[in-house]
Structures are given as structure tokens and as C-alpha cells.
Structure 1
């Protein structure tokens, strides 16, 4: 259901953490001792990247015994991943697995909270996230937001059309651009045309010109509710998205205006999820 991080990236994560072996485990002489590693939630968590964490442990020489799938909502005290193997493998994969789990699950949990709150007041709303994830982490971030019930707003500049004032400034302004919407639609018939408005007046002009989606940024909730009502009445085929400063505290208010799409970046920023890790020897494995 969710995208997988390529093996090459998992290998890079391991190489960053264990570039020349594990000095501590080697000096202690415990690398060959059998054991198990387990990761457990400390709080309610929408789990993400258990698959990749397990694959990282496997690359280090462990065997995954159990893993909850990404997207699972786990109560505090739930074991989400367990693996067995020599101590050297468990210690080599420990922090890579933990970092993947905690950072990705932090994003997925924040996302799930917003999706839940928004849909409680507007069941038809779609929650999407921007391309403001930290550079180099997009695959993890996208997997995490999808595990939380959202979808990507734009994966990049190559697959979608979203026109900002920074574009129309080169065309003679918004009105000059709006005269070209029909031509733009004919040149990209498989794509929807999204245009961002800086005011309610601009939003209505954009809707009248035939844009598929009007996006507003940082518009106060009361003003947005009135705009949604007017667009629904006059231009019923036009969808409305709201972006800018939307988070878990105000998502329900924005959703209640009746918009179609909630666009946000806030889920990328915040504390990681909190897991505990145990690594324990299993001497009986020697006799199995």
C-alpha cells in the first residue's frame, strides 16, 4: 500500500552510521552472541517505516520476527518490530532502524491527527502535503504522510500545474494570464490547472476563467467560508484548496468551511515519535 524506500538508500543510512564497523561491540567481544531487538511504542502512534527498519536490520545480518505494517495505529506499550540475530547485527542496525521509525512515525502520527480532525467535520475533504520536506528525505516523508491518511500535493515541479503570482508576474499580471487558461488546458488536457489567489476577489476571477482548482493562502476562516459559498453557487465545478499555516489546532476550522482540499506542511516539523528499544541476549538460540 505504501511506497518502499530503495535498498540503496537503506544501505546509505547504514553506511553513514557504521562506516568502518562497530568498535564498541568488537572490543567487547560480544558480536557473535545471539540476541533479539524489539521496538515498543511509548505513546499512541501511527506507525511508519517498520518495513524499511526491518530491511535495515536484515542487511546487517538479523532476521525480522515480527513487524506491524505502516499505517497501523498502535496504543502505548505496543511492540511494533522484533528481530533476532548476532549482537553485532543488532547493534549495527539499531539506530538506523530507530531513527527511521521515530522520524517517519512522528510525521505519520501528526498527519493522522489532522486527517481525523478534518474529516470529523468534513468527511469528503482531502488532506495533502506540500514539497517542503527536508531535502533528501522525500521518499520517507511521502511514505509517512500516506501512512497517516494524506496524499502528496505535489511531488515536484514535473507532474503538476500550479500557477502562482510569481509566474503571472512574467505574463503581465493575473488578468493577462487568465486569458490564456483555455490555451493552457488545450496544451495539457490530462492535467488540472491549479491557480493560487491572493484575495477573495482574485479567487472569484480565477474560478470564472475556468481554472480547475482555486488555491488560497493564509485566508482567515470566516472570509474563506464566505468565498467557498460564493464559488459553490456561481462556479460549482471548481474545487477550492486552502494552504498556509494549517496545523492540528486549526485544521478542523478550515475543513468546516467546506473546502475540498487542505494543503499543509506542518506535519513535517515536530518531535519524532517515542519508542523504547530493548536488546537482550538469547543464549538458548545456541542450542536450537
Structure 2
């Protein structure tokens, strides 16, 4: 899916090529016995789409075969839906058959997973748009170690927002950060904070936000996870850029978001409201309202189904 300013693949960092080299090495760290049987004959293989979904992950597949000295010609654009009858010829790979087979499983694994994430992201976003909500659907940082760039890329192809990419991309103060800050303050005063004491937690939020802003400077946004309207007000008052209402009920979200937007209207405080915690395609619409700016969920990239592909070789 191309953005207004260019193809999403132009966002990819150069290090993704190193990742692919590592994945190829992981799959064949020593001798390629099957490749020995095949030899060096030239040929081609058809990449076939075998289940519903949209295709995503082309730059990674391109790089897999490029590193093996093969070429690939795509017959379907990234971000398009597969039109099965009963299968779709998505691309043609050309080069030494041994090298095509050497990259086959790595390429298919990447493509299947990335396409599955893109398909789920697009489906959930379409369901929310059908309800009239025009906010941002975002993923989370609950990604697979070593595979994050592919999963975030799939989210983008599906039309959703990847959210922060790592701990250095925006500051998110979750309950553990704020609780630790409250406990440190209590210890300095000679006591211990009660984790059930919302007043203590809310009182610690301004200190945590100020520390985060001092460290990150003007260029780094600060988001605060809040369990109550009281905590949200403390975060907004301290200058937080994004308020995350975490694990609220659907009704509680709508009430809290409306109250916060009304309470801070005209008070020179600009902030976004994000909702997170247990959101799925089945229940997310219940949490939407004009006062909610962002819905974030790991359900669009964690544990999603794959889109099925296969590679079929033919000698030239």
C-alpha cells in the first residue's frame, strides 16, 4: 500500500538486509544436502497465493532471493488482495534452482506472516471505519524478537499505525514506571507507598513526566498509562502528550474521554487519548467515540493467521 508520499518500503532501514542474511544462515548453517541433489541447473519457480488476504512483505522476499543471486518478477502489487481461482500466480523467481530452493522457506515464512498481519490490520481498520470512527488504529510493541521490522511493516501495509518501534521511540510511562517513581519518593520520605493508593500514584505522575521530558527534550513525546481519570488529569496537567486509558470498560472509556476533553478545553493543553487493553476486531467498535483518538492492540500482529503461499519449480 503506497502512502501519499511514496511506497512504505522506502521507510525500511538498511539493517533489514543483515537480518535476512542471518535468517538464511539460520536455515542453512552448514551443508545444503538437498541442494547437492539439485545441482546448478537454471530454472524458475512460480510463487502461488493459496488463501485469502492481502500480500505484504515484498521487499524482504526480494532481498532473500537477491542475496542468493536470483531475480523475482511480481505479478501483483503489494497491498492488493489475492483473487484466488483457486490459486493466484503472484510472482516468478528465476535463477539457479539450488539457490531458489535455498531461499524458499525463508521467503515463504516472511511473506506468510507479514501478509497475515497486513490482512488482519486491514480487516480491523475497515470494521472501525464502517462504524464511522476516523481515529488511528495502532499496533503495540508486543512483537517477535528479531522479527519486529517485518511485523511493523505488515501493520503499515494493512493501513494501521505501527505505534512506537522501540524504547527510544517516544517515552511511555506505564504503571510500573510510575509506581517505581512513587515508591522511590516514599522511600526518600522514610516510608513505603501503597500500590492500592491511587492518590500516591497520581501524585507521582507529574514527577515522572517532568523527568521524562527533561531526558527526551522537546523532540520526544511522552505518553502515560492511566488507570483512572484522576491519574489522567495529573498526567495532562504535567504536560503529557498522550493519555492511555488502559483496561477501562467500553462505557468507562467513553465517559472518561469525554470528561477529559471537556475539562481541559481552552486550557492550553494539547493531548491525545489512546485506549488499550484487550481490544479485538470483535469488541473494538464499542470503545470508539469522537473523543478517542487512538486504539492500540496487539491483536492485529500477535497470534494472527498467516496467508498461505507456496513455490513451485519448473526447469527451463
On whether the aligned pair clears a TM of 0.5, the verdict is yes
Cα separation, partners in 2 of 1:26 and 1:123, compared to 1, 3 Å: same
Q: Provide TM-score, normalisation by structure 1.
A: 0.86
User: Could you tell me how far 1:258 is from its partner in structure 2?
Assistant: 4.1
Aligned position for 1:71: 79
RMSD across aligned positions (CA): 2.4
User: Could you tell me how far 1:84 is from its partner in structure 2?
Assistant: 1.4
Deviations 1:37-70 (A, max 9, x none): 1222223322111222122123223221225443
Distance in 1, Cα, partners of 2:262 & 2:83: 44
Cα separation, partners in 2 of 1:53 and 1:201, compared to 1, 3 Å: same
Distance in 2, Cα, partners of 1:67 & 1:93: 19
Distance in 1, Cα, partners of 2:90 & 2:134: 31
Cα separation, partners in 2 of 1:272 and 1:230, compared to 1, 3 Å: same
Task: List aligned pairs for 1:1-288, cutoff 5 A.
Answer: 1-2=8-9, 3-4=11-12, 6-27=16-37, 30-66=38-74, 68-76=76-84, 77-172=87-182, 173-178=201-206, 181=209, 185=213, 188-236=217-265, 237-256=270-289, 258-266=291-299, 267-282=301-316
Give the aligned length.
280
User: 249-258 or 228-237, which moves further after superposition?
Assistant: 249-258
Distance in 1, Cα, partners of 2:219 & 2:206: 19
User: 214-223 or 121-130, which moves further after superposition?
Assistant: 121-130
Cα separation, partners in 2 of 1:189 and 1:65, compared to 1, 3 Å: closer
Distance in 2, Cα, partners of 1:84 & 1:268: 33
Aligned position for 1:286: none
Contact 1:31 1:89 in 2 (8 A): no
User: Could you tell me how far 1:205 is from its partner in structure 2?
Assistant: 4.0
Secondary structure at the aligned position of 1:171 is classed as helix
Deviations 1:195-249 (A, max 9, x none): 1111234334433444322101121111111112212222243311011111222
Aligned position for 2:192: none
In structure 1, list runs of 5 or more residues that go unmatched: 283-288
Deviations 1:145-194 (A, max 9, x none): 11111223222222312222222223333213326756765662233321
Q: Provide TM-score, normalisation by structure 2.
A: 0.79
Off by >6 Å, runs of 4+ in structure 1: none
